[in-house]
Amino acid sequence: MRFWLYILFLGMTLVGYAKQDQEGTLPDAGEEPVEGLDSMYYLNDVVVTGTRTPKLLKDAPIQTRVITASDIEKADATNVEDLLQQEMPGVEFSYAMNQLKHMNLCGFGGQGILFMVDGDRLAGETMDDVDFTRLNMANVERIEIVKGAASALYGSHAGGGVINIITKEQTQPWTLNLNARLARYNERRFGGAFGTKGKQLHNMLNVNHTFIDNIHVHNAENPATQIVSTIYGDRTWNVKDRLTYKPTDQLTFVGRAGYFFREVVRTADTPERYRDFSAGVKGLWDITAHDQLEISYSFDQYDKSDFHKINRLDVRDYSNVQNAFRSLYNHYWSTGSVLSVGTDYMHDYLMNKNLGSKTASQSICDAFAQFDWLIDTHWEVVGALRYDYFSDSKSAHFTPKLTARYQPIDHLNLRLGYGMGFRSPALKEKYYNFDMVGIWIIQGNPNLKSEVSHNFNASADYTKGHYNFTLAAYYNNVHNKLTTGVPHYLPGDDKQLYLDYTNLEDYSIYGGEANVQARWDNGFSAKLSYAYTNERLPKDKEGHTINNQYIPARRHSLTARVDWDKQFTSNYGLRLSLNGRFLSAVKNVEFVDYYDISKGTSTIHYPAYTYWKLSVVQHFGKAFKVTTALDNLLNYKPKYHYFNSPLTDGINLMVGLSVDIDKLF
Amino acid sequence: MFDDIYDEPQEQVDIKEGQLYIDASSWTDWHYINLTATGNKVVKMSIPTEALPSPNGEGAEGLYTYWYDVFGEGLSKHEFRGFTPTASQPEPDEWHIAVHRNNVRTNGGAAYETPYTSMDDLPESSEAFADATFTEDVWNELDVWTIQAQMLQGLIGNQGIKVNPVLSSWLTVSLPPVPPVFTLNNHVFIIKFNDGTYGAIQLENYQSPTGVKCCLTINYKYPY
């Protein structure tokens, strides 16, 4: 069956290729958007994540949700967690063990969602999620979110989708912005961005610093499960520089470097430190008007260490280093069709004091091809096939994808797609050996198989007048989910429990999303988004209900936003924004007693909640912006701070100032 | 890469004269220290945890299980949940003090906390503290944490035994938050032993080179 699927994809690609007898020119990713209905909803914006080629959002064959720079500014978000929770239904950030952040997006955990910055993967994980705090929102042009399996283009860890953060390009001769925000709990956020642009060189430097105290929160008596009494704050530094060199119209080189530091004081004498060092070089060559080649190298190192204050020692206990080389060739036809062929190589190194051998590494290489066939003005079909090889397990993986877009009338797009997703076992999952505070020893499993998912999706979007509508539905069938299984004793030892990484039985996730946006001429705009997620919890291969270490997705979630913009004079403008989210209750199966699993499991009920934010943004002249926000406007205080409760103990006043120094002159 | 940013902890602790280092991180052992004019001797003895069918001796020795409000009001809020009688705590023939994590006992002695934070600043002899009020060991069934198997549920099994509250204040453990906060009190303590001799003692560090808590570097002066 799988063989015939591959043949079908290959055949479709060849047929489409043979029909392209005319050649076209490269699309201009920097093309100015056309004013009108399309620009109102950013439909003329260029997106790249769905196909790895520039496509106008309104014509993208893969449904792509875009969070624009304007959305980010309105949300006043510090990092990607703040932003996604405000902007998207169906996404939730909760705590895993030891207050480590875990994301759930439409039923897929952070392990199944691939985060990228300008198309590059991120090193490092904690409880299988990337460090979301390093993804700050300074200098972000937009975020592209593609839900559903995208492994045919991006490989492992893209079973649930891709979130690609696109950074800004410098467009002015020079810019300098300084900004600050203060809030409760001694929260401070300072940022600076300095950009220059010459004839061939442009550069953007960003420096950001955040701080927030530990917050001690109150809980009622007799909680149903684990609660949080202290929300740990942190101190971060984030420095990024991006240099672009365009020696000719056909050649572009981009170099980047970054440093990230975060300190969390969970124990006063041993603060935990997290560092990331990143760098990269990318070359883009427009070989002809129809052919484009992209070659890049990316380095990312994510470290964890403990600072022993008394001994004045900073001791590293984790390091993940990724060196990746990528190449991508695109050929464009005048009909709009595109052939993409690429290959990648990545060396993945892991040092972890809890690995049996302390270090492990592997090489991953892949090759892929995609044909984006624009059949006529109504139909577009995209097929992709990818081959991945993993040196540690000496295993290979083929991944197909097929999507069709039909445009029966202007401004109406119907999409139907199938994609395979997969996640190869991480080195940690294969070789871990960790004594978890006397409860059990978490053991790696070298015999793990890849987790594979089959994603079927359908969507429709329509724009008319002041309104834009989107409807989407999906179904995922997941085989061999990678996680920890049922605790067990070894033969002859009934004292020490072991918890092994394992592959679980098949399970499914299905759901849908509805979104409506409106923009009126009087300055008002509104957006309402609803997501339904049904995550059927997996069992182990023997059919046992397992303890879910991550709380599953909430079935219903909704985000809403209303904005009012008014420029009163040339020197004074005002924007009022009200945004909020509603998340329904959710149940999870958990052990009654982690120390005595013979007591079985019970179903824990996590309550629904709603959370709102009101902000007032005042523009004074061209240079000054003052933001005043009331976060948690309804003063919601969880009775119990469970692992998926909002991190709050009440209303919070935030005041910010941003100055564009270059606009003062 | 970037190895230079980080430190490699040394395996051994550098012990100076008048100093001793004890890994007292075990929940289930007491470390008995016998001081002499020429040095010291440390003997490790386990806390009895095997249940007896009936109470031993005066009937108070054993393991006391308490629930602590670790995620709420902290250790000050606790409830008794059970008692398991065990054998008496074994002891060597000769010892002056014993340490178990952050707990300290004396062998029939008493302790006084001085305002000094350096051994070098102490008066010439213990006679300077002749009028001080020394505190003897007192019964305790809340602090000698022995069984951690159900700690995440706030349940801890403690040894019921006499400890010295003044000496034990050299290292305080407080909850919440979880994990607990360790606070070092670097004052010098004077101990009046049951044989009439005196000693001075100070906790200098409670971490091993690799960061393990309750690995004690102790300054001492004996006889004092």
pLDDT given for residue A23 in this prediction: 47
The verdict on A225 touching B (C-beta cutoff 8 Å) is: no
Alpha-carbon dihedral angle through residues A13, A18, A23, A28, given to the nearest 10 degrees:
-10
Least confidently predicted of A60-64, A232-236, B67-71: B67-71
Q: Which residue of A has its CA nearest to B212?
A: A308
How many Cβ pairs closer than 8 A exist between chain A and B?
Answer: 85
Report the Cα A185 to chain-centroid distance in Å.
27
Q: Is residue B1 part of a domain?
A: no
- Using an 8 Å CB-CB cutoff, list chain B residues near A310: 184, 205-207
Cβ–Cβ gap B9/A313 under 8 Å:
yes
Whether the pLDDT of residue A296 is over 60: the answer is yes
Residue A432, C-beta contacts closer than 8 angstroms, at least 6 positions apart: A352, A354, A355, A356, A442, A443, A444, A501
The verdict on B71 touching A (C-beta cutoff 8 Å) is: yes
CA distance A598 to A494: 12
Cβ–Cβ gap A230/B182 under 8 Å:
no
Q: Which residue of A226, A305, A595 is in closest CB contact with B150?
A: A595
Return the bridge partners of A383, or none: A371, A402
Cβ–Cβ gap A315/B206 under 8 Å:
no
Q: Is residue B4 part of a domain?
A: no
CA distance A134 to A111: 17
Residue in A649, A631, A641, A661 with CA at minimum distance from that of residue A78: A631
Q: Which residue of B has its CA nearest to A215?
A: B177
Q: Which residue of A275, A306, A438 is in closest CB contact with B211?
A: A306
Q: Which residue of B has its CA nearest to A228?
A: B71
The verdict on B148 touching A (C-beta cutoff 8 Å) is: yes
- Using an 8 Å CB-CB cutoff, list chain A residues near B71: 219, 223, 227-229
Q: Is residue B89 part of a domain?
A: yes
- Using an 8 Å CB-CB cutoff, list chain B residues near A266: 177, 179
Place of tokens 């198989």: A449
Instruction: Count the neighbouring beta carbons within 10 Å of the beta carbon of residue A528.
Output: 15
Cβ–Cβ gap B72/A314 under 8 Å:
no
Q: Is residue B141 part of a domain?
A: yes
Q: Regarding beta strands A440-443 and A451-464, do their DSSP bridges make them parallel or antiparallel, or are they unpaired?
A: unpaired
CB A109 within 8 A of CB A241: no
* Strand stretches in A391-466, DSSP E: 395-406, 412-423, 433-436, 440-443, 451-464
- The pLDDT-based confidence of A238 (bands split at 50, 70, 90) is very high
Residue in A151, A147, A150 with CA at minimum distance from that of residue A531: A147
Return the bridge partners of A380, or none: A374, A405
The mean pLDDT values, 10 residues at a time, for chain B of 224 residues are 86 86 93 87 91 73 87 80 90 93 95 94 91 93 86 83 95 77 92 92 91 91 90
Cβ–Cβ gap B176/A230 under 8 Å:
yes
pLDDT, mean over chain A: 88
Residues within 8 A of A (CB atoms), B 77-96 only: none
Q: Regarding beta strands B171-174 and A609-620, do their DSSP bridges make them parallel or antiparallel, or are they unpaired?
A: unpaired
Alpha carbon of A616: minimum distance to chain B alpha carbons (Å) = 36
Q: What type of residue is A76?
A: D
Whether the pLDDT of residue A624 is over 90: the answer is yes
Residues within 8 A of B (CB atoms), A 594-613 only: 594-595
For the purposes of burial, counting CB atoms within 10 Å of the CB of A404, is it exposed (0-12), middle (13-18) or buried (19 or more)?
middle
Q: How far is CA A171 from CA A27, A202, A442, A659, in A?
A: 19, 8, 51, 18
For the purposes of burial, counting CB atoms within 10 Å of the CB of A230, is it exposed (0-12), middle (13-18) or buried (19 or more)?
middle
Whether the pLDDT of residue A73 is over 50: the answer is yes
pLDDT given for residue A407 in this prediction: 93
Residues within 8 A of A (CB atoms), B 201-220 only: 205-207, 209-211
**3-state SS, residue A458:** strand
Cβ–Cβ gap B176/A439 under 8 Å:
no
Place of tokens 């490269």: A26
Alpha carbon of B149: minimum distance to chain A alpha carbons (Å) = 6
DSSP string, A469-535: EEEEEEEEEEES-EEE---EEPTT-SS-EEEEEEE---EEEEEEEEEEEEE-TTSEEEEEEEEEEEE
Total number of domains in chain B: 1
CA distance A593 to A587: 17
The verdict on A230 touching B (C-beta cutoff 8 Å) is: yes
Structure tokens at A331: 């050929």
Cis-peptide into A400, omega within 30 deg: no
- Using an 8 Å CB-CB cutoff, list chain A residues near B209: 311, 313
pLDDT given for residue A311 in this prediction: 84
CB A180 within 8 A of CB A192: no
Cβ–Cβ gap A229/B8 under 8 Å:
no
Which pTM does this prediction carry? 0.86
Residues within 8 A of A (CB atoms), B 177-196 only: 177-184
pLDDT given for residue A589 in this prediction: 84
Mutate to test the interface with B, among A98, A219, A229 (most CBs of B within 10 A): A229
Query: Between the ranges A57-71, A495-509, A565-579, where is the mean pLDDT highest?
Result: A565-579
pLDDT given for residue B57 in this prediction: 62
Cβ–Cβ gap B2/A437 under 8 Å:
no
DSSP string, A345-401: EEEEEEEETTBTTSEEEEEEEEEEEEEEEE-SSSEEEEEEEEEEEETTTTEEEEEEE
- Using an 8 Å CB-CB cutoff, list chain B residues near A315: 6-9, 210-211
Residues within 8 A of B (CB atoms), A 180-209 only: none
Q: Which residue of A has its CA nearest to B180?
A: A267
Q: Which residue of B2, B72, B207 is in closest CB contact with A219?
A: B72
Q: Which residue of B has its CA nearest to A641?
A: B71
Least confidently predicted of A212-216, A324-328, A486-490: A486-490
Q: Which residue of B2, B179, B210 is in closest CB contact with A315?
A: B210
The verdict on B139 touching A (C-beta cutoff 8 Å) is: no
Summarised one tens digit per residue, pLDDT across range A347-405 is 999 999 888 778 999 999 999 999 999 999 899 999 999 999 999 989 999 999 999 99
CA distance A58 to B27: 64
pLDDT given for residue A659 in this prediction: 96
CB A32 within 8 A of CB A38: no
- The pLDDT-based confidence of A14 (bands split at 50, 70, 90) is very low
For the purposes of burial, counting CB atoms within 10 Å of the CB of A22, is it exposed (0-12), middle (13-18) or buried (19 or more)?
exposed
DSSP string, A564-624: EEEEEETTEEEEEEEEEEEE--EEEEEES-TT-GGG-EEEEEEPPEEEEEEEEEEEETTTE
Q: Which residue of B7, B151, B205 is in closest CB contact with A314?
A: B7
Q: How far is CA A544 from CA A520, A537, A600, in A?
A: 54, 11, 11
The verdict on B5 touching A (C-beta cutoff 8 Å) is: yes
Q: Which CATH number fits domain A2-664: 3.30.1490.20, 2.60.120.620, 1.10.287.70, 2.40.170.20?
A: 2.40.170.20
Alpha carbon of B148: minimum distance to chain A alpha carbons (Å) = 8
Report the Cα A406 to chain-centroid distance in Å.
28
Q: What type of residue is B119?
A: M
Structure tokens at A232: 């740990």
Q: Is residue B41 part of a domain?
A: yes
Whether the pLDDT of residue A189 is over 50: the answer is yes
Place of tokens 């993986």: A397
Q: What type of residue is A598?
A: S
Alpha carbon of A425: minimum distance to chain B alpha carbons (Å) = 25
pLDDT given for residue A355 in this prediction: 84
For the purposes of burial, counting CB atoms within 10 Å of the CB of A375, is it exposed (0-12), middle (13-18) or buried (19 or more)?
middle
Instruction: Count the neighbouring beta carbons within 10 Å of the beta carbon of residue A98.
Output: 14
Summarised one tens digit per residue, pLDDT across range A17-52 is 444 444 445 554 444 444 455 566 666 778 888 888
Structure tokens at A37: 């209905």
Residue in B60, B43, B40, B44 with CA at minimum distance from that of residue B52: B60
The verdict on B138 touching A (C-beta cutoff 8 Å) is: no
Least confidently predicted of A87-91, A118-122, A436-440, B63-67: A436-440
Domain that holds residue B22: 18-221
Q: Is residue B82 part of a domain?
A: yes
pLDDT given for residue A325 in this prediction: 97
- Using an 8 Å CB-CB cutoff, list chain A residues near B72: 219, 221, 229
**3-state SS, residue B193:** coil
The verdict on B1 touching A (C-beta cutoff 8 Å) is: yes
Q: Which residue of A has its CA nearest to B150?
A: A595
CA distance A164 to A115: 6
Alpha carbon of A320: minimum distance to chain B alpha carbons (Å) = 10
- Using an 8 Å CB-CB cutoff, list chain A residues near B5: 275, 314, 316
CA distance A378 to A336: 12
Residues within 8 A of A (CB atoms), B 15-54 only: none
Q: What type of residue is A297?
A: Y
* Structural domain spans, chain A: 2-664
Residues within 8 A of B (CB atoms), A 264-283 only: 266-270, 275, 277
CA distance B48 to B65: 15
Q: What is the ipTM score, two decimals?
A: 0.78
- Using an 8 Å CB-CB cutoff, list chain B residues near A227: 71
Summarised one tens digit per residue, pLDDT across range A146-166 is 998 989 999 999 999 999 999
Residue A3, C-beta contacts closer than 8 angstroms, at least 6 positions apart: none
pLDDT given for residue A43 in this prediction: 65
The verdict on B150 touching A (C-beta cutoff 8 Å) is: yes
The verdict on B74 touching A (C-beta cutoff 8 Å) is: no
